[in-house]
Amino acid sequence: MIPISLRWVGEATGHLELIDQTLLPAQFTWLTCRDVPTVVEAIKSLRVRGAPAIGIAGAYGMAVAAGEAIRGQMAASHARAHVLARAEELATARPTAVNLRWAVERCLRAIDGLPAEADAPALAEALLTEARAIHDEDRRLCEAIGRHGASVLPEGGVLTHCNTGALATGGAGTALAVITAAWDSGRRFEVFADETRPLFQGARLTAWELVQRGIPVTVLCDSAAAHLLKTGRVAACIVGADRITANGDTANKIGTYGLALLAEAHGVPFFVAAPSSTFDLSLETGAEIPIEERAAAEVLRPLGAVAAPEAAKAFNPAFDVTPARLIRGIITENGVVSPVTRERIREVLST
């Protein structure tokens, strides 16, 4: 079974449904989002996560905003003002992943051309059409990323970090799509998944997805990665991305930078897989990427278990930045950026 992360139910006055990823793998539950605050909370609390998936959720959230205007029987001018206000709430729900603001702004452009007197149903129709287009495009992008990545993935074991599969996107995934595409082509290899602390997205989500697809997976503590790489069982590391700058520096789940350093130390190629929408060419280097700091409870009481004294403090950045020099290639829907340089990035993105 190939899981999905989210879906729209009904037409313009319908609603968004998300798999509540905070409950996996113990419980599979759909969360119904009929208002924007519910969508924003789902993004902030990681009920939906992964840069492409939260972008799609933000796009559908715009349609939800228009639905609020319809139910509130707002006049045309009030309906548009309401949607614009909700757009900023959605776009700022999480600061690091560039896909979220990109998708919301794309939906705003979809209604820019509508006349000022366009009513709430007209706004809803245009916004839902654009959100569905973003979702459909991501499905196709994931397939292309998987295809391009499988062609460059070396033979041997693969180590991945966090979750980059169907749960994190609108399709088969990014880095995990590369792994599953290679597997589906008949290749056989060991798949290793870092737990990805503090919220265990690798253990809870990546392992769950691979098991659903019938692909054997071995989960390891993040701190065991160095020893695993030393054994020679890993031929490549591959991860996703939440933002990539003009020079190829890449923000991804905390722990990615450390894994890239370990891969370099052991001569193992390190790949990033991401759609072109994850590139933010307005930023020159990774030093400009805002790094989200999350609640101390995620570290001190992960998944509700007391793991440290109550008086202890926590350092909990959600992301770190891997310098371009540590990345063998960035796999996109247009092809592979390798070597990772400004010139090659521009060349691939313009394809």
The pLDDT assigned to 39 comes to: 98
Query: 73 CB contacts (<8 Å, ≥6 apart)?
Result: none
pTM value is 0.92
Q: CATH homologous superfamily for 6-140?
A: translation initiation factor eif-2b, domain 1 (1.20.120.420)
State the pLDDT at residue 52.
93
- Residue 59 has a pLDDT of 98
Which residues in the chain land under pLDDT 70?
1
Give the pairing type, strands 319-322 and 250-253: antiparallel
User: How far is the C-alpha of 188 from the C-alpha of 182, rounded, in Å?
Assistant: 8
The one catalytic residue among 138, 242, 249, 320: 242
Per-residue model confidence (pLDDT) at position 96: 82
Q: What is the pLDDT of residue 332?
A: 98
pLDDT at 90: 97
d(CA 339, CA 33): 42
User: May I ask the CATH architecture of the domain 145-349?
Assistant: 3-Layer(aba) Sandwich (3.40)
Give the pLDDT of residue 350: 94
Residue 35 annotated to the active site: no
pLDDT at 80: 96
Report d(CA 175, CA 198) in Å as an integer: 20
Contact call for residues 108 and 57 (beta carbons, < 8 A): no
Q: Where are the domains of the chain?
A: 6-140, 145-349
